[in-house]
Structure formats: structure tokens, C-alpha cells
């Protein structure tokens, strides 16, 4: 008989989490700190397109600006490295069990991985957990929620990241690999979202190591087909771009400019 979990199997220590340390007011950039809380759901056209890279960079950028950020990967299967990366990006202010409350061991889509363990996950549970984090004592100004796989990959019983977007009434960021086929993948994913959400979705194309004619022209046609001002091409980040303190050199400037435009958008 399958088990029903009404609370995460990795119960976080007091969902009203305590932030370690305090941000100096001098570090807070008023141009980017919102008056009301903003919830972003980061989804993708597929698995392995760069969702975690982008979410980690966005979280680290906002954290550097002095914003209170909660970066979450509610559902993981096969490993928790994505969640650990998000935790590092926000300075470790949230326990891993809050960032990733539901972890399933099998490297399968989460619905099948959960069933393999005799477990069951409902949309209402995930939404309630995210809202608890959003309403915690040190209320985050930005809540970043990374999905698993593509938009319609099943996360639990009867729901995917699409249903999570709608339930949270979140701003959506769609990440795609900037390669041949991206235009079709982006358009299909947008078509799967409710019209109002699709119209406000920002599109991020993750560049390959060696840009070619396809990667240089995808963004222009996607803009033409979906609306101006919504698509951004993100620079490829070689391994040497990362140091213990984050990005360095030109990569840092490019990423900061791109992320600032997304947050301001």
C-alpha cells in the first residue's frame, strides 16, 4: 500500500526558518529590492537545458544585491546536487530539507521515482510548503522555485510544473538550450501554459560553448513569433568562470547585466 505524506519526508527544522546573519543595509540595492514579494518559477523545455545554472546565478545575483532570497527545488529525483547548488548560491541561509523537501532516489521522472518507493505526492502539499517558506519569519523578497525536467514532466500525482505555476500565480522563466530545435521547443512549451501566464513568460536561451549561426539567430525569430522584449540570450560560462566567490571577469559583468534586466522586467 502506498504511503501518503502530508508533510515532507525530510521535515525542515521549523518552517519559519532562521536566516544566518544579517545583510548590511549598505549592501542592499534599492533599485532591485521589490516592494512586494515576487515568486518566480524557473522551468525548461527539457531536462539538462540549464535551469539549475540559471537559477543558481539569479539567486546569487539577488543575494549579492542584499535581497532576501529563498531558492527552492521542491522535488528532486536521482540526486540532490541541484538543491545543494542553490543552497550555496544563497549563502546557506536555508537548510537543504527546506530547499528540497521531497527527494526520490531513482533517476526517473519524480512521479515514477516516488511510486517506486511506494510514496505519493500531491500538488497541494508542494504549494503549501512553498507558501510556508514565503511567509516565514524573515519573509524573502524573492522566492525562486526550480521545476524538475520540462514544464509538463510529472512531479507528482496529477500535476507538473505547469500546475505549480498556476497555483502559485508565479512569474515564469522558461530556459532553453540555444541550439537547433529551440524555436519549436519554446513555442510548444509556451502553448502548454495558460494564455495569461504564457504572455508574461520570460525566455532565456543558454548559449553553447561555440555559438553558431543557429544560436545567433534563434532569439530574433523567437522574439518575432512570441513578442518583443521577452527573450534573452545567456552567455556560456566555461568552468574557469567560477571561483569560490562566484563569477569573475567578463562572465560576471555579462551575467549581472542579463539578470538585472530579467529582475527589472
Catalytic machinery residues: 73
Q: How far apart are CA 152 and CA 189, in angstroms?
A: 8
Give the C-alpha separation, 257 to 265, whole Å. Answer: 12
Q: Give the helix/strand (H/E) hosting 180.
A: none
What is the secondary structure of 13-61 as a DSSP string? Answer: S-SSPPPSS---GGG--TTTS-SS-EEEEEEESSTTSSHHHHHHHHHHH
Tallying the residues shown for the chain, one arrives at: 265
Residue located via cell numbers 513578442? 227
* Nearest of 52, 148, 46 to residue 106 by alpha carbon: 148
In this structure, are residues 87 and 56 in contact, taking their beta carbons and an 8 Å threshold?
no
- Which sign does the torsion angle of CA 100, 161, 138, 90 carry? positive
Q: How far apart are CA 214 and CA 234, in angstroms?
A: 14
Amino acid at each position: 500500500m502506498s504511503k501518503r505524506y502530508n508533510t515532507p519526508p525530510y521535515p525542515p527544522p521549523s518552517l519559519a526558518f532562521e536566516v544566518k546573519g544579517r545583510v548590511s543595509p549598505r549592501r542592499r540595492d534599492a533599485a532591485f529590492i521589490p516592494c512586494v514579494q515576487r515568486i518566480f518559477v524557473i522551468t525548461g523545455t527539457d531536462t539538462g537545458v540549464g535551469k539549475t545554472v540559471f537559477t543558481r546565478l539569479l539567486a546569487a545575483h539577488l543575494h549579492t544585491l542584499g535581497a532576501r532570497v529563498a531558492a527552492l527545488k521542491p522535488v528532486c529525483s536521482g540526486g540532490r546536487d541541484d538543491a545543494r547548488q542553490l543552497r550555496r548560491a544563497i549563502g546557506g541561509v536555508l537548510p537543504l530539507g527546506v530547499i528540497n523537501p521531497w527527494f526520490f532516489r531513482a533517476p526517473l521522472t519524480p512521479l515514477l521515482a516516488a511510486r517506486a518507493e511506494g510514496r505519493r505526492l500531491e500538488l497541494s502539499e508542494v504549494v503549501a510548503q512553498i507558501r510556508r517558506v514565503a511567509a516565514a519569519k524573515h519573509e524573502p523578497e524573492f522566492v525562486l522555485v526550480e521545476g524538475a525536467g520540462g514544464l509538463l514532466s510529472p512531479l507528482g500525482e496529477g500535476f507538473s510544473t505547469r500546475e505549480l505555476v498556476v497555483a502559485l500565480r508565479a512569474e515564469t522563466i522558461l530556459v532553453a538550450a540555444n541550439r537547433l530545435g529551440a524555436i519549436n521547443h519554446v513555442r510548444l512549451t509556451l502553448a502548454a501554459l495558460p494564455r495569461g501566464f504564457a504572455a508574461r513568460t520570460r525566455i532565456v536561451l543558454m548559449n553553447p560553448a561555440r555559438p553558431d549561426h543557429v544560436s545567433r539567430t534563434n532569439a530574433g525569430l523567437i522574439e518575432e513569433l512570441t513578442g518583443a522584449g521577452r527573450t534573452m540570450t545567456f552567455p556560456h560560462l566555461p568552468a574557469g568562470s567560477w571561483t569560490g566567490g562566484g563569477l569573475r571577469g567578463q562572465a560576471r559583468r555579462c551575467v549581472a547585466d542579463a539578470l538585472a534586466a530579467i529582475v527589472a522586467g
